[in-house]
Amino acid sequence: MNPKIGIFGAGWVGLVTGACFAELGHEVVIRDVLAERVEALQAGRVPLHEPGLAELLERNRERLTFTLELDDVVTAPVMFVCVGTPPTYSGDADLSAVWTVVDQLPALEERSILVMKSTVPVGTGEKVRTALDARGLAHVGYASNPEFLAEGSAVHDFMHPDRVVVGAFTEADATTVAGLYEPLETTVVRADVASAEMIKLAANAFLMTRISFINEIANVCEATGADVVTVAEGVGLDHRLGPHFLRAGIGWGGSCFPKDGVALKQLASNSGYHFQLLAAVIEVNELQKRRVIGKLEKHLGKLAGKKVALLGLAFKPNTDDLREAPSLVLASRLLAEGAEVRAWDPVADASRLLQGVTFADSVLDAVADADAAVIVTEWDEVRGLASDEVRQAMRRPLIVDGRNLLDPEQARSAGFTYEGIGRAASPLAALPETEEPAAQQPTP
C-alpha cells in the first residue's frame, strides 16, 4: 500500500512534490505556516505560476489536503521537509525554518521518517540526527533526498528525474524512501547522508560554472570578433562536454543558484577551504548582469533621461519567481543612471520590488517611445520583437538581447540596431539620433 505522505512547505518544491506523489497514488497532507497560502490552496487556487501544477493539483484533489495544523502532518509515516533555506547576511544557508520543523516534531510514538528535500549544507543531516536522538526520537528515521527540479518544468522534472538521490543513516530508511520513486523510471543513487547533501550543492555549482564559463567566452568573443552561439554549438557537440548550460546571456538568478552557490562557498570557507573557482564563478555572474548597461551606453551615451524597456522580469520563462532575478539588478542600475524604466512581464509582478519603474501590459506598450528594448527573460512573446510594429513604436530601434533570443541578421535587416551577448557587434553608424557614444566599458 502507498504510505501517506506529509509535507512541510507549500512552495515550489512542496507543492510539486505533493501533487506528484498524489498523482502516484499517495494520500498527501501539505502543511504551510502562511494562512493566506493554505486558504488559497484549499479554495483551489495555486499561489505560484508553474506549468501543469494547477491541473495536477485539481486532478488529485481528493488525495490532497492543505493545512496549517502540525498534527495533520506528523501522523504520516514519511514526512518531507520542503521549507525555504534562504541566505543569511553571512552567505550561510538560513536553516531556521528547517529547525522549526525538527524542533516542533511532537513525541511521536510510531516509527516515521523525516526526509530532507530542502537544500541544506553538508552536515545538516548529522546535526538533525543528533537532535532527534537527544529528544528521544531515535525511532524517527532521517534521509536526505535533495530535489533537482527546475522551475518552469518542475512537474515534468519530478516525474522524469535524471536520478533520485537518497542518503540515509540506515538501509531500511533508504529502501523506504527509494521505494516511493519506484513507479518512476530512473536511477536511484544511494549515498551516505553527507554525500547526498553534497551532490545537490555540487550539481548546482557545476551548472553555474558552465554558465559563467560560456559567459566569459562570450565576453572574449565580443573582444575578438567570434560568435558565442556558434562557439557553444561547436563546443557542446563534444561528447565529453555536452550542449547543456552553454547559452551565453546576462547571468543566472532565481531562488537556487545564487543562494546555493554562496552557501557552498561559505560552507567550504567555514571548513577552512577557499573555494576559489566558485568565488570566481559567482563574481563573473555579478559582472555579467551589469554588462547590458555598457551595451546601452555604447549606443545611447549617457542613460539619464533615456527610456529603456525591460522585457521579462522573472528570472527565467514559465515562472513568476523574481527571487534574485537579473532584471532587478538591471532595473536598479538603470534607475541609478537616471534612465526611465518601463518593464513588462506576462506573469511576474515586480511592482513592490521595483520602486520607480513603470509597468506595461504588453510588449508593444513597453517599447512605445523607448530608446532601447532589452530582452531580459526569453518569454515566447518576445521572440517576434524585431517587427515593423515594434520598430515604428520605438523612438530608436535599439535591441539589446540579453538572452541571444533573436537572429541578429534578421533583427538588423528589419531595421534594428542589435546587440546580443558575445555576438558580432552592430555598426554604430546604423543608429539615427544618438548622442556621441561613450567608450564601451563594463559598468560597475
Ligand X SMILES: NC(=O)c1ccc[n+]([C@@H]2O[C@H](COP(=O)([O-])OP(=O)(O)OC[C@H]3O[C@@H](n4cnc5c(N)ncnc54)[C@H](O)[C@@H]3O)[C@@H](O)[C@H]2O)c1
- 100 lies in the binding site for ligand X (CB under 6 A): yes
Buried residues in 175-196 as b, exposed as e (16+ CB within 10 A): ebbbebbeeeeeebebbebeeb
Give the residue, chosen from 4, 6, 9, 281, that forms a contact with ligand X under the rule CB under 6 A. 9
CB-nearer residue toward ligand X: 118 or 209: 118
Residue 61: phi and psi, rounded to 5, are: -45, -40
> Which burial class, exposed, middle or buried, applies to 274 when counting CB atoms under 10 A from its CB (0-12, 13-18, 19+)?
exposed
- 10 lies in the binding site for ligand X (CB under 6 A): yes
Report how far Cα 82 is from the mean position of its chain's Cα atoms: 16
- 41 lies in the binding site for ligand X (CB under 6 A): no
- 145 lies in the binding site for ligand X (CB under 6 A): no
Q: Which three cell numbers stand for residue 210?
A: 558552465
Q: Are 255 and 321 in contact (CB under 8 A)?
A: yes
Q: Which three cell numbers stand for residue 315?
A: 528570472
Give the residue, chosen from 65, 119, 145, 176, that forms a contact with ligand X under the rule CB under 6 A. 119
Shortest distance in whole angstroms from residue 283 CB to ligand X = 22
Shortest distance in whole angstroms from residue 199 CB to ligand X = 12
- 57 lies in the binding site for ligand X (CB under 6 A): no
The piece of 19-27, 95-103, 121-129, 397-405 that touches ligand X (CB under 6 A) is 95-103
Q: Are 145 and 164 in contact (CB under 8 A)?
A: yes
The contact mask relative to ligand X for 237-276 (x = CB under 6 A, - = no) is ------------------xx--------------------
The piece of 81-89, 127-135, 302-310, 339-347 that touches ligand X (CB under 6 A) is 81-89
- 105 lies in the binding site for ligand X (CB under 6 A): no
The piece of 76-84, 190-198, 304-312, 373-381 that touches ligand X (CB under 6 A) is 76-84
Catalytic residue among 20, 82, 221, 256: 256
Give the residue, chosen from 6, 11, 161, 167, that forms a contact with ligand X under the rule CB under 6 A. 11
> Distance between CA atoms of 93 and 259, rounded to whole angstroms?
7
Q: Between the CA atoms of 75, 81, 83 and 88, what dihedral angle is there, to the nearest 10 degrees? A: 130
- 31 lies in the binding site for ligand X (CB under 6 A): yes
What type of residue sits at position 241? L
Total interface residues for ligand X by CB under 6 A = 27
- 324 lies in the binding site for ligand X (CB under 6 A): no
- 37 lies in the binding site for ligand X (CB under 6 A): yes
Residue 67: phi and psi, rounded to 5, are: -150, 155
Give the residue, chosen from 65, 85, 145, 219, that forms a contact with ligand X under the rule CB under 6 A. 85
Q: Are 268 and 275 in contact (CB under 8 A)?
A: yes
CB-nearer residue toward ligand X: 82 or 198: 82
Shortest distance in whole angstroms from residue 304 CB to ligand X = 37
> Distance between CA atoms of 66 and 15, rounded to whole angstroms?
10
Q: Are 238 and 68 in contact (CB under 8 A)?
A: no
Give the residue, chosen from 32, 297, 320, 324, that forms a contact with ligand X under the rule CB under 6 A. 32
The piece of 146-154, 219-227, 377-385, 422-430 that touches ligand X (CB under 6 A) is 146-154
- 13 lies in the binding site for ligand X (CB under 6 A): yes
Range 212-241, binding ligand X (CB under 6 A): none
In whole angstroms, how far apart are CA 178 and each of 122, 157, 278?
20, 17, 31
> Distance between CA atoms of 85 and 88, rounded to whole angstroms?
9
Shortest distance in whole angstroms from residue 319 CB to ligand X = 8
Q: Are 299 and 372 in contact (CB under 8 A)?
A: yes
Candidates 313, 267, 340; CA nearest to 119 is 267
Q: Are 328 and 295 in contact (CB under 8 A)?
A: no
The piece of 77-85, 169-177, 182-190, 345-353 that touches ligand X (CB under 6 A) is 77-85
Q: Decide if 256 is catalytic.
A: yes
The piece of 31-39, 302-310, 349-357, 384-392 that touches ligand X (CB under 6 A) is 31-39
DSSP state of 63: G
> Distance between CA atoms of 171 and 134, rounded to whole angstroms?
22
Q: Are 190 and 163 in contact (CB under 8 A)?
A: no
Range 403-442, binding ligand X (CB under 6 A): none
Report, as residue numbers or ranges, the catalytic residues. Answer: 256
Q: Which residues bind ligand X (CB under 6 A)?
A: 8-14, 31-34, 37, 82-85, 97, 100-101, 117-119, 147, 149, 151, 255-256
